[in-house]
Amino acid sequence: MPLTDNRRKITVGLFITLGLLIFILAIFTLGSQKKTFVKSFTLNVIFHNIQGLKKGNNVWFSGVKIGTIKKIEFFGSSQVRIFLSIEEDVQKYIHKDAGASISADGLIGNKIVVITGGSLKFPFVEDGDQLKVDASLSTDDVMKTLQVNNKNLLEITTDFKLLAKNLVNGKGAAGALLSDEQIASDFKAMVANLNKTAQASNKTAQELSKFSTTLNTKNGLMGKIMTDTVVFGKFQQSAASLQRSAQSAETMAANLNAASAKLKSSDNAAGLFLNDPKTAMQIKAIMTNLELGSKKLDENLEALQSNFLLRGFFKKRAREEAKKVEQP
């Protein structure tokens, strides 16, 4: 009997010991998962909407779990402050300008907090520091965007369906183009004309290119003008001659204008003759008197030739002139 009691006590003791070992192992296992026995420090971040975050959710950094959500409390009017318990070993990788955002562990998994490292020019974070919030799209925002995109896609598909139906029924300009043979023929003719125009434009461009190439050749006119100093000098001389000719023509035109102006005035003989009626009448009378005097002089000479006193003189003079004519 005592032996049986001893065995029973030993068995109970073994079960209790085994149970304690399992309990302690479970505590350490859960603690390791929750980072309970790891040295840590606290960071906080303020969100306007935590999107279903809960105490105990994980904190990730560069794809590695580095802590958990320690505490959640309201802040300000409608904001929420999240306290993060972070492993002390990763403190040397997180800078003070690091940001935090809310994401999901998979498409429909638990919500998590994701921390970015920041830049090297800032010091490392310290216990109690507050992280800035990264303005990134949440899962809810992504789902809303997908819903809007699906709605837009449905509307676009409906519009394409209606457009295709109108095209088949020959409605609208495009439908008429596809169904009306005359419009299609006119469109083909227009395309053919545009093609001819494009070919003509291409040919013109090629000819202009050849012409410009010819001008730029070494032995061409432009090449000689640009490179040959003799030709360029002659060109300059010709230009100078043209300039002098233009100046001479301009001077002659000025002189003609001055002479024309003098002819229009009455302060000179020509202008007085052309513009003064009285002077013109006097000159005309003088010319008339000269003509009459010339006629009377001829009559007087004829009368002298008939005079017996001078008749011999005139006959002698006539014979001398006749001899001069007969001499070779």
Instruction: Decide: helix, strand or coil at residue 15.
Output: helix
Query: How far is the C-alpha of 213 from the C-alpha of 289, rounded, in Å?
Result: 80
Which region among 89-98, 121-130, 195-204, 314-323 has the lowest average model confidence (pLDDT)? 314-323
Of the residues 85, 111, 136, which one is the last residue of a structural domain?
136
Domain count within the chain: 2
Highest-confidence segment of 172-176, 232-236, 267-271, 292-296: 292-296
- For residues 250 and 114, the model is more confident at 114
Q: Is the pLDDT of residue 294 over 60?
A: yes
Q: What pLDDT does residue 41 have? A: 93
Closest CA to 125 of 49, 43, 200: 43
Identify whether 258 is part of a domain. Answer: no
Instruction: Supply the range of the domain harboring residue 55.
Output: 34-136
Identify whether 44 is part of a domain. Answer: yes
Q: What pLDDT does residue 269 have? A: 62
Query: How far is the C-alpha of 248 from the C-alpha of 328, rounded, in Å?
Result: 53
User: Which residues sit opposite 65 in a β-bridge?
Assistant: 60
Which region among 10-14, 16-20, 241-245, 275-279 has the lowest average model confidence (pLDDT)? 275-279
Q: What pLDDT does residue 79 have? A: 92
Average pLDDT of the chain, as a whole number:
76
pLDDT per residue as tens digits for the range 19-57: 878 877 766 665 555 555 568 899 999 998 888 889 989
Of the residues 116, 136, 156, which one is the last residue of a structural domain?
136
Produce one character per residue of 287-304: b if its CB has 16 or more CB atoms within 10 Å, e if not.
eeeeeeeeeeeeeeeeee
What tokens were used for 289?
């008197």
Burial of 171 (0-12, 13-18, 19+ CB in 10 A): middle
For residues 222 and 216, is the Cβ–Cβ distance under 8 A?
Answer: yes
Q: Is the pLDDT of residue 154 over 70?
A: yes
Identify whether 153 is part of a domain. Answer: no
Identify whether 48 is part of a domain. Answer: yes
| pTM of model > 0.75 | no
Instruction: Decide: helix, strand or coil at residue 126.
Output: coil
Identify whether 208 is part of a domain. Answer: no
